[in-house]
């Protein structure tokens, strides 16, 4: 049984609640609870950093009056957002799920919202039962960045060719070894993943921030059975590099640029890929069970 899983043989009377939630990751040091171990001039200190998991656990303990550990469907880094994250916790309290949902939102900061709460079998596991995830990444490629979106998009300030990015990204569909798009992080048994969907499009519709000027955003979405550490952000960084560079290693034609993605994929070499795109343009979009 996973150490983070708060159900064991002696706790079979507990109920398991599944939460679906969204959060603005701008002010959080990621999803997972962690300590600030910075050393000051006077003395070392160790204190909890603000994290999404920590915020929710504190709110749940206020509501349920007992210690709570929640387990999320995946960890997001500092600055990464979620339109749909899934997490579970267990309790012996008999509150109805809809009451838990309403009460939690009253205790949580406005940067975290619980969309839904349902009771699930004790056997449900938010990580092991996942069959697919979908992420979205948003880019503002205007020469002059739009200031109101600076915490929610990558303002790369270089014009990108969306059609070329779409064609290059299509090389990633299917089952491949994605080692070239992984940065060092949690160890994995395998770097093979299956990508079932990819979308790259330019949109002029970005809500109330839309202006009368000719502005647009690039939206990249990818769905797979699982993701390596920083895989999405590295793919985006690689696509931007392939699209923006006019001449790279004697690659001058459109076809050569598109084929470059396949070469990087086959190399399994992280140094061949592009930069890791900034975290604040990334959104966990959906989790499928």
Q: Does position 157 have pLDDT exceeding 50, yes or no?
A: yes
Q: Does position 260 have pLDDT exceeding 60, yes or no?
A: yes
Task: Give one DSSP letter per residue of 72-137, joined into a string.
Answer: ESS---TT-EEEEEEEEEEES----HHHHHHHHHHHS-TTEEEEEEEEE-TT--TTTT--EEEEEE
Answering whether pTM is above 0.85, one says yes
Q: Does position 26 have pLDDT exceeding 90, yes or no?
A: yes
Identify the pLDDT of residue 145: 84
Just list the catalytic residues. Answer: 77
Q: Which fold has domain 9-120?
A: Alpha-Beta Plaits (3.30.70)
pLDDT tens per residue, range 83-141: 999 999 999 999 999 999 999 999 999 999 999 999 999 999 999 999 999 999 999 99
Identify the pLDDT of residue 223: 98
User: What are the domain boundaries of the chain?
Assistant: 9-120, 132-288
Domain 132-288 -> CATH class: alpha beta
Q: Does position 10 have pLDDT exceeding 60, yes or no?
A: no
Selected residue with higher pLDDT from 208 and 137: 137
Identify the pLDDT of residue 3: 46
Q: What percent of the chain has pLDDT over 70?
A: 86
Q: Do domains 9-120 and 132-288 have the same CATH topology?
A: yes
Confidence of residue 186 (pLDDT cuts 50, 70, 90): low
Say how far residue 224 (Cα) sits from the centre of its chain.
13
């Amino acid at each position: 049984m996973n150490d983070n899983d708060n159900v064991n043989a002696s706790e079979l009377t507990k109920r398991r609640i599944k939460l679906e939630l969204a959060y603005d990751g701008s002010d959080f040091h990621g999803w997972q609870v962690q300590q600030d171990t910075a050393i000051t001039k006077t003395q070392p200190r160790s204190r909890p950093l603000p994290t999404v998991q920590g915020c929710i656990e504190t709110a749940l303990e206020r509501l349920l009056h007992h210690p709570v550990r929640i387990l999320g469907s995946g960890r997001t880094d500092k600055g990464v957002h979620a339109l749909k994250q899934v997490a579970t916790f267990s309790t012996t309290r008999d509150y109805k799920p809809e009451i838990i949902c309403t009460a939690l939102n009253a205790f949580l900061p406005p940067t975290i919202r619980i969309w839904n709460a349902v009771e699930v079998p004790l056997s449900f596991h938010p990580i092991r039962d996942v069959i697919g995830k979908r992420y979205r990444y948003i880019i503002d490629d205007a020469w002059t960045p739009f200031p109101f979106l600076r915490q929610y998009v990558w303002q790369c300030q270089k014009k990108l060719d969306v059609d070329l990015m779409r064609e290059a990204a299509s090389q990633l569909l299917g089952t491949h070894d994605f080692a070239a798009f992984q940065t060092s992080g949690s160890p994995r048994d395998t770097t093979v993943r299956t990508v079932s969907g990819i979308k790259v499009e330019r949109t002029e519709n970005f809500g109330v921030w839309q202006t009368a000027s000719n502005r647009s955003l690039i939206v990249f979405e990818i769905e797979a059975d699982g993701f390596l550490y920083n895989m999405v952000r590295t793919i985006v960084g690689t696509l931007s590099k392939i699209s923006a560079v006019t001449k790279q290693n004697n690659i001058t034609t459109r076809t050569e640029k598109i084929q470059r993605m396949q070469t990087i994929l086959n190399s399994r070499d992280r140094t061949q890929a592009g930069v890791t795109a900034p975290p604040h343009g990334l959104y966990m979009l959906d989790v499928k069970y």
